[in-house]
């Protein structure tokens, strides 16, 4: 497995994760061959005393400033769209949304906090149906044309909106979205079941998502929360109720066998399986300690044999 295909999630850097630990995580990830960092302008407003985001970007910016040569070794991805507003919009929308003004201002602010000249991948973080999709697409495309952003992605959007946005960009000669960020894992919740802590209506990878990405090889699929908040390895963090069904039990039994054969934690096999999937799914690691990161990095030692992949892929 290629460690450079892993993504380090930095959601809690500067808030739940102190700066010293944050820098240690960034250092270790880079030293191990990791390259891609994922953050957002809103991270992590829900635990920050200010009620606003920006802490994660500031920590990364400080880490880069301490050793500028690191910039050439990392791919920086950040997002805009769900930073809370002090005063809701006229339509009652409580977060910033994806208007042209917000997209441009958000990019400028992220560049400033990160201390960089260009964002490698800029995400539309969540839907904003109060803003015409044409306006959002043109705003993102203009950032690429201006050289402020290299590539564009979209998170927590339904597939039909992703396709419509890409078609609008193509028709206007603008850079399209070429990355899609949703949540998925080796086990899945029951269809239609509410999942605790998941409030994005279109946040889960579905069969339609996989089919869409398979038919559009220019679109890369990233997965946040691929380890279901530690549920694979930690008895104190059981799977949410929606995951508790016979299909999960059968899949976990196979996972146990493969993990034992390779001498690694179940979570490491989950990461290896995502990377080996076709289409590939790039997992975002949401770790809070160097020890957790070290465990995840063991994916480099796992080479899943064809029969193991077949067993893991078998219908639950």
pLDDT tens digits for range 185-221: 999 999 888 888 777 889 999 999 999 999 999 999 9
Whole-angstrom distance, CA of residue 15 vs CA of residue 117: 25
pLDDT of the residue at 194: 86
Residue with tokens 């949540």: 183
pLDDT of the residue at 1: 79
Its sign, for the CA torsion 152, 157, 159, 164, is negative
pLDDT of the residue at 14: 98
Domains, the chain, ordered by start: 3-313 (3.20.20.100)
pLDDT of the residue at 48: 98
Of 10-14, 63-67, 236-240, which gets the smallest average pLDDT? Answer: 236-240
pTM across the whole model:
0.96
pLDDT of the residue at 201: 87
The two tokens of residue 193 are: 């079941």
- What does the pLDDT look like over 116-137, one tens digit per residue? 999 999 999 999 999 999 999 9
- Count of CB atoms situated within 10 Å of the CB of 91: 10
Q: Mean pLDDT, the chain, as a whole number?
A: 96
Q: Mean pLDDT, to the nearest integer, of 19-44?
A: 98
User: Does the pLDDT of residue 316 top 80, yes or no?
Assistant: no
Burial class from Cβ neighbours inside 10 Å (0-12, 13-18, 19+) for residue 124 reads buried
Whole-angstrom distance, CA of residue 296 vs CA of residue 301: 10
Q: Mean pLDDT, to the nearest integer, of 106-119?
A: 98
- What does the pLDDT look like over 142-161, one tens digit per residue? 999 999 999 999 999 999 99
The two tokens of residue 105 are: 């201002």
């Amino acid at each position: 497995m290629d460690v450079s295909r892993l993504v380090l999630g930095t959601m809690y850097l500067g808030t739940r994760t102190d700066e010293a630990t944050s820098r240690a995580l960034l250092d270790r990830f880079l030293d191990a061959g990791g390259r891609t960092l994922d953050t957002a302008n809103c991270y992590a407003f829900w635990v920050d005393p200010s009620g606003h985001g920006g802490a994660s970007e500031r920590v990364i910016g400080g880490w880069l400033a301490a050793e500028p040569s690191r910039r050439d070794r990392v791919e920086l991805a950040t997002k805009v769209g769900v930073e809370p507003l002090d005063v809701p919009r006229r339509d009652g929308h409580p977060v910033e949304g994806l208007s042209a003004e917000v997209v441009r201002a958000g990019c400028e602010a992220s560049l400033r906090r990160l201390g960089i000249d260009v964002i490698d991948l800029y995400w539309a973080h969540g839907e904003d149906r109060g803003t015409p999709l044409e306006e959002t697409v043109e705003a993102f495309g203009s950032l690429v044309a201006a050289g402020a952003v290299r590539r564009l992605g979209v998170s927590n959007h339904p597939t039909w909106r992703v396709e419509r946005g890409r078609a609008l960009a193509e028709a206007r000669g603008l850079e399209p979205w070429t990355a899609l960020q949703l949540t998925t894992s080796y086990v899945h919740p029951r269809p239609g079941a509410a999942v605790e802590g998941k409030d994005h209506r279109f946040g889960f990878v579905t069969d339609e998502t996989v089919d869409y990405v398979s038919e559009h090889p220019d679109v890369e699929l990233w997965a946040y929360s691929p380890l279901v908040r530690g549920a694979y390895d930690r008895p104190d963090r059981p799977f949410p109720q929606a995951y508790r069904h016979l299909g999960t039990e059968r899949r976990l039994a196979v996972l146990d066998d493969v993990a034992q054969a390779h001498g690694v934690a179940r979570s490491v096999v989950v990461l290896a399986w995502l990377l080996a999937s076709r289409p590939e799914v790039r997992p975002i690691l949401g770790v809070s300690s160097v020890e957790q990161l070290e465990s995840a990095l063991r994916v480099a030692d796992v080479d899943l044999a064809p029969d193991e992949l077949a067993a893991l892929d078998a219908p639950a």
